Amino acid sequence: MDVNAALAAGSAIAGVCTGVVAMLAFRWSEREQAGVTRASLHTEAVLPPGVDTVLSVLRSSAVVLDEGDAVVKASSAAYALGLVRGGRLAVDQLLQMARDTRRDGEIRQTELDLPRRGTGRGEALAVSARVAPLGSRLVLLLVDDLTESRRIEAVRRDFVANVSHELKTPVGALSLLSEAVMDACDDPEAVQRFAGRMQAEATRLTSLVQEIIDLSRVQNDDPLEDSEPVAVDDLVTEALERCRQQAATKQITIATGATPGLYIWGSRSQLAAALGNLVENAVNYSPARTRVGIAGRAVSAAGGDLVEISVTDQGIGISEKDRDRIFERFYRVDPARSRATGGTGLGLSIVKHVAASHGGEVTVWSAEGQGSTFTLRLPRASAERGGRDGRGGRGNRDGLSTPGADTGPGTPAHLPAPEVLP
């Protein structure tokens, strides 16, 4: 009897404890639900109707602050720019603007340079910020990233300044030479000499204006609009015709060794201009009685098959400090030599833009006193022309000697056997 009574009493106590725990759990659940409901109602109450929807479609980074400077709403772009961290506005200048706007209700706008977080390079992030009151207690902050537009504007200013300087040189020379011709009207030999120099300056001016037009067209035109399968053999032929006279004058032999049947998908005119600029540079910067090689081959890459077109010269070469800048507009390694050869400093910039717009790249290997090798790498096209697959023509691949192909990139290679002579 005592044992049974003890068991009954234990069961009763356990039942009471279970009931108490269940009741407490139910009360806690009710409190949590009430808290969530109150928080949800608070969020809906502080944001005016429709504001959340409008902020979600804005391109600007949006932040809404309450009367205690806490972030009520922030777009993902605001977090990406580092404006909001830990539920607070992280930029002191913007926080002060928000407080001033909350105090007097005036709309404020400013431009700031903010540190770019996470790069470790101290780069500045240019932003335009606008602060306006939102209702009676909230403040809306809109921030636009101006970094890219600032960079483009700086490039445009530099380009205009460089163009102005480059155009003033031949125009000024023509003005002085015309005065010299007028003063020497009684001296036929002097007139002939000055007239020859005027013709050279006029040719230089014409080339500069044409290359400026070409560069502008390359930057603005989409090569896919008039794209077609372009045969590498045709591009090489056009480049040779463009430089044949200059090469013959300097007794430079142009050797070709391109694999037949290679095609590139893109704009024929842009590709021809790019390769022509490379060959023309090679001829202009090579000593007399040397060789310039043009070679093409198909290579495999992770992103698909590529076509490599290499132009190798035995010229003066490019120093290491200049190698990273030669593709900049108007940059010339030797300005005095460029004036002698008629260079404008835009040819390699055009090559770089053409390669990039066609999904490829241009690289350079060079050593002072040994020459240079410029290589265009462009996606290979699979097309049929004249009943032959653009990928199919195997050609004389075993006998091809391509610059840079024997020993890998970064080392010179033998020029291909001459097939086209000026």
Residue 81 has pLDDT above 90, yes or no: no
Q: How confident is the model at residue 209 (pLDDT cuts 50, 70, 90)?
A: confident
Cα–Cα distances in angstroms (integers) from residue 391 to residues 161, 335, 355, 384, in the given order:
46, 43, 21, 8
Q: Which carries the bigger pLDDT value, residue 359 or residue 408?
A: 359
Provide the pLDDT for residue 321.
80
Within 10 angstroms of residue 17's Cβ, the number of other Cβ atoms is: 10
Contact 89, 98 (CB under 8 A): yes
Mean pLDDT, residues 280-291: 89
**For 76-184, where are the E strands, in sequence order?**
84-85, 88-89, 108-115, 124-134, 138-145
Provide the pLDDT for residue 235.
93
Which domains are seen in the chain, by residue range?
54-145 (3.30.450.20), 148-220 (1.10.287.130), 223-422 (3.30.565.10)
Contact 364, 277 (CB under 8 A): no
Residue 77 has pLDDT above 70, yes or no: yes
Provide the pLDDT for residue 13.
56
Cα–Cα distances in angstroms (integers) from residue 398 to residues 149, 257, 265, 333, in the given order:
50, 11, 25, 37
- At 148-191, the pLDDT tens digits run 888 777 767 776 777 777 778 788 888 888 888 888 888 888 88
Q: How confident is the model at residue 370 (pLDDT cuts 50, 70, 90)?
A: confident
d(CA 388, CA 74): 59
Tell me the Cα Rg of the chain.
35
Residue-averaged pLDDT of the chain: 75
Residue 131 has pLDDT above 70, yes or no: yes
Q: Which carries the bigger pLDDT value, residue 319 or residue 342?
A: 319
Contact 327, 351 (CB under 8 A): yes
Residue 421 has pLDDT above 80, yes or no: no
Mean pLDDT, residues 18-26: 47
pTM exceeds 0.75: no
**Range from 133-147, 259-273, 359-373, 376-390 carrying the lowest mean pLDDT:** 376-390
* Alpha carbon 393 to its chain's center: 34
Mean pLDDT, residues 19-37: 44
Mean pLDDT, residues 55-66: 83
Residue 376 has pLDDT above 90, yes or no: yes
Residue 88 has pLDDT above 70, yes or no: yes
Helix 188-220 / helix 147-183 crossing angle, nearest 10 deg: 160
Mean pLDDT, residues 229-257: 90
Q: How confident is the model at residue 342 (pLDDT cuts 50, 70, 90)?
A: low
Q: Which carries the bigger pLDDT value, residue 256 or residue 32?
A: 256
What is the residue-wise DSSP string for 167-211? HHHHHHHHHHHHHHHHHTTT-HHHHHHHHHHHHHHHHHHHHHHHH
Mean pLDDT, residues 56-64: 82
